[in-house]
Amino acid sequence: MSPVILASNLLFPTSLAIDATNVYYLVSGAIFDDSFGPASVQQTAIAGPGDGGLAPIVLASNLAYTPTSIGVDATEVFWNAGFGGPLVECSIGGCGGTPTTFGSASWQADYFVIASGTMYFLGSAGTTSGVLTCPTSGCSTPGSLFTGFGGVLFLGGSTLYGWDATVSSDGSETGVIDSCPFSGCNETPVSYLNGADAIVGAVADATNVYWIDAPKGQVLRCPAAGCTGTPDVIYSFYGGAQDPEALIPMALDATSLYIGADEIVRVTPK
């Protein structure tokens, strides 16, 4: 099936989240000369016209920071106030353009994900750092899940993943994906993928792991149980190779893969 465009003419969305009704996304406001304008947080109905022509609902605009993560539960949309910034929340459909602090303004979140009413964020709260947990209904003190974990977080079933890039002495980049089940990995994440082309986005469910190969300009897929064969090509970007310094968000539902670059597209089946 051809990809369906849900939103277009976006200035570098940095994160995506979905529920049964909407796709939520962060627009960084980045300009092609690497400068940044005001960022915004928007939502668009999944059941739109399919041409990117459905006007989004703007949850917050003219932000003085560029969020790196967004998530949603049954009633609220959450994002972080920039890399290492505090967490904020806004009701689905709008909060008058004024989000409120989630948890404490002293918490610092680099990246986070939400699953089954729980937020998992990479950052710190007081003297505790690492991957911390808090119900999306709120908590005064986050729990600690792992301390020896890093990268851009994503979830697949009962496994937490983190993707990152390593830079060699010649300046070339290779992608890595590490994993750790919620049951624990003795603070030593397991390598799922190592030595791949530069990765600029990744997402997973209980069955598969998906990532964006920047030099190839493709979304690749491998079984979550292990990637020992040749990955499947799920989507190819119209412009080919992608900037290895970019951050291209993705999200999954039961049937589709959602990808955000200068537009948000839905690819079915996933």
Confidence (pLDDT) at 203 = 96
**29: pLDDT confidence band, cut at 50, 70 and 90?**
low
Q: How sure is the predictor about 137, in pLDDT bands with cuts at 50, 70 and 90?
A: very high
Check: pTM over 0.75? Answer yes or no.
yes
The SS3 of residue 24 is: strand
Q: How confident is the model at residue 259 (pLDDT cuts 50, 70, 90)?
A: very high
Residue 32 is part of which domain span? 4-267
Q: What is the pLDDT of residues 164-174, one digit of tens each?
A: 877 677 767 78
- Sheet with 152-156, strands from edge to edge, namely 152-156, 159-167, 173-181, 190-197
Q: Give residue 16's pLDDT.
A: 93
| Mean pLDDT of the 164-186 span | 81
Q: For residue 1, is pLDDT > 60?
A: no
Judged by average pLDDT, the poorest of 37-41, 52-56, 59-63, 214-218 is: 52-56
Between the alpha carbon of residue 185 and those of residues 112, 118, 191, 207, the distances in Å are 19, 20, 11, 20
SS3 67: coil
Check residue 173 and give its pLDDT: 78
Look at residue 52 and tell me whether its pLDDT is greater than 70: no
**Cα–Cα distance between 244 and 200 in angstroms, integer?**
6
Q: For 3-24, how does the pLDDT look when each residue is reduced to its tens digit (9 = 90+)?
A: 888 888 777 788 999 999 999 9
Mean pLDDT of 238-249: 83
Identify which has the larger pLDDT, 56 or 224.
Answer: 224
Give the whole-angstrom CA distance, residue 204 versus residue 155: 6
DSSP 31: -
Dihedral angle computed from the Cα positions of residues 165, 168, 173 and 177, in that order, rounded to the nearest 10 degrees:
-30
CATH code: domain of residue 239: 2.120.10.30
CA distance linking residue 263 with residue 169, whole number of Å: 34
Q: How many domains does the chain have?
A: 1
The encoded tokens of residue 229 equal 């064969």
The pLDDT value recorded for residue 220 is 96
d(C-alpha 219, C-alpha 260), whole Å: 12
When mean pLDDT is compared over 101-105, 166-170, 197-201, the highest value belongs to 101-105
Residue 179's pLDDT band, with cuts at 50, 70 and 90, is very high
pLDDT band at 142 (very low <50, low <70, confident <90, very high): very high
Taking CB atoms within 8 Å and a gap of at least 24, the contacts of 76-80 are 76/136, 77/17, 77/24, 77/41, 77/43, 78/102, 78/112, 78/114, 78/119, 78/136, 79/15, 79/26, 79/41, 80/109, 80/110, 80/111, 80/112, 80/121
